[in-house]
Amino acid sequence: MSKVNFDQVFKSIETGEVIKDPPMVFRCEKCGHQNIQKEKMKDLTLRLIAVRALLTMEPNDKTKPEEKYDRGKLAEKIMESKSAVDLSSEEITKLKDLIGKGFASQIVFHAFDMLDPKKE
């Protein structure tokens, strides 16, 4: 088992600034104008990335229901945690695989190091 801190934030490789979670966009029902809620932008954390990776389905997804259930349970465990989470090597491998398939290189690069820090 490895303890993983899911409150770690992602930082831009170019600027070193904390990456913000994409803002919520709302469309006015009357006029169709888009309203971006910038004041509600949060830091992008490993928790958000991991849970999204676990709960997102790919087109033509052929994942068995039992696997979907296991992903949901792991997402719940991560989302409800108040401190570092104990993860098995299998859970870490699953997260790395799903994050690797669903996110851009900058996110994958940081997420892999956060999930499985290299020992020097």
Q: Domain residue spans in the chain? A: 2-14+45-115
| Distant-in-sequence contacts of 95-98, Cβ < 8 A, 24+ apart | 95/50, 95/53, 95/54, 98/53, 98/54, 98/56, 98/71
**CA 106 to chain CA centroid, nearest Å:** 13
C-alpha angle with apex 102: 96 to 108, nearest 5 degrees? 50
DSSP bridge pairs for 4: 85
Whether the pTM exceeds 0.85: the reply is no
> Strand 34-36 and strand 25-27: pairing?
antiparallel
Digitized pLDDT (tens) for each residue of the chain, 120 residues in all: 899 999 999 999 899 999 888 665 566 667 766 665 555 678 899 999 999 999 988 778 888 999 999 999 999 999 999 889 999 999 999 999 999 999 999 999 999 999 988 754
Write out the two tokens for 52: 């999204």
